[in-house]
Homo-oligomer: A and B are copies of this chain.
């Protein structure tokens, strides 16, 4: 027996000492307000080359209940066997669905979603924490709940942080991103997260060729196991891959960039300029801007692509410094990277 549908293999480098796990920690099924059966989420994850997903049906929002009796663990039970068969890590989860504040939060790595159905919000979080949960604040700038679109910590969030009960925030959700989340996470030791929050069919919501991949969280884990995944998330070793951009702290995205982008030795030298190949061995395109005098002002490196760079001979001895405008490292910062041709 082989699984016949193709699994997409994305070329995203591992970091030294870590494997890069591709994850989506926010999805829905017919057991809340989604449109597909739980096993479909596993099949989608298989095709999309993911290592781990969470199904996070709403606790407090059950619009299908006239037809489908509430069972908060149903999706987990139904999808579990399929996940085992496809070697996908299925994270047990649920979306605690309140008005803002506190808004919506996912409890991940829980053991019983039914236990989260109670009125007192802090009790719910405590219950999840007692199950070992990673608590993720979802779409904090969602205009349906936060009309100005600006994520902000309310007292309840500060209380969660103070107790160590908040572990990550969605920088990206569905089609939206929230720049402030980068610094909110940095300042509070939280993980930067990005998810699809998929309700409908993933391939129709993020269709090719407009999308080359769904939004996802990259987790830099010691191994590809549920335990390592969980450890890495609590340690905040994450980045978000969405559209043609990557958002993550410099300590993770800088080595990722260095693994992905390689320069060849100069193949031509006319005494004034050198020419060398610059390759991108990843599926993440790279947009280099702000190049120095005597080098290209901008370099667009397509996914799995190569360009030829012409530059002054002085760059045989000193690096060219660029801003990587599509790798976001903070609310107001992007990655700085040095390019230098290989030695001949």
* A interface residues with partner B (beta carbon < 8 Å): 1-4, 6-9, 30-31, 34-37, 39-40, 64, 67-69, 71, 74, 78, 84-87, 200-201, 203-204, 209, 267-268, 275, 277-279, 281, 296, 299-300, 302, 304-310
> How far, in Å, is A197 (CB) from chain B's closest CB?
17
Residues of B within 8 A of A30 (CB): 30, 37
Given known contacts A200-B40, A308-B87, A300 and B4 CB-to-CB distance under 8 angstroms: yes
25 contacts between A and B (CB under 8 A): A1-B296, A1-B308, A1-B309, A2-B299, A2-B300, A2-B310, A6-B302, A7-B306, A8-B304, A9-B281, A9-B305, A9-B306, A30-B37, A31-B67, A36-B40, A37-B64, A40-B201, A67-B69, A67-B78, A85-B275, A85-B308, A87-B275, A87-B277, A203-B203, A209-B209
Please, how many angstroms separate the alpha-carbon atoms of A305 and B7 in the complex?
6
> How far, in Å, is A44 (CB) from chain B's closest CB?
9
Please, how many angstroms separate the alpha-carbon atoms of A304 and B35 in the complex?
28
- Across the interface, do A308 and B3 meet the contact criterion of CB distance under 8 Å? yes
Residues of B within 8 A of A78 (CB): 67
Residues of B within 8 A of A209 (CB): 209
Please, how many angstroms separate the alpha-carbon atoms of A37 and B201 in the complex?
11
> How far, in Å, is A179 (CB) from chain B's closest CB?
27
| Total copies of this chain within the assembly | 4
Residue of B nearest to A2 (CB): B307
Residues of B within 8 A of A31 (CB): 67
Given known contacts A2-B299, A203-B204, A268-B85, A307 and B37 CB-to-CB distance under 8 angstroms: no
Please, how many angstroms separate the alpha-carbon atoms of A46 and B67 in the complex?
24
Please, how many angstroms separate the alpha-carbon atoms of A35 and B305 in the complex?
25
Residues of B within 8 A of A36 (CB): 35-37, 40, 201
Q: Which one of A87, A268, A299 has the greatest number of beta carbons of chain B within 10 Å?
A: A87
Residues of B within 8 A of A309 (CB): 1-2
Residues of B within 8 A of A87 (CB): 267-268, 275, 277, 308
- Across the interface, do B201 and A2 meet the contact criterion of CB distance under 8 Å? no
Residues of B within 8 A of A40 (CB): 35-36, 200-201
Q: Which one of A2, A279, A306, A309 has the greatest number of beta carbons of chain B within 10 Å?
A: A2
> How far, in Å, is A307 (CB) from chain B's closest CB?
4
Closest 10 pairs (CB-CB, A-B)? A7-B306, A2-B307, A1-B310, A35-B37, A87-B267, A3-B308, A9-B304, A6-B305, A6-B302, A201-B201
> How far, in Å, is A7 (CB) from chain B's closest CB?
4
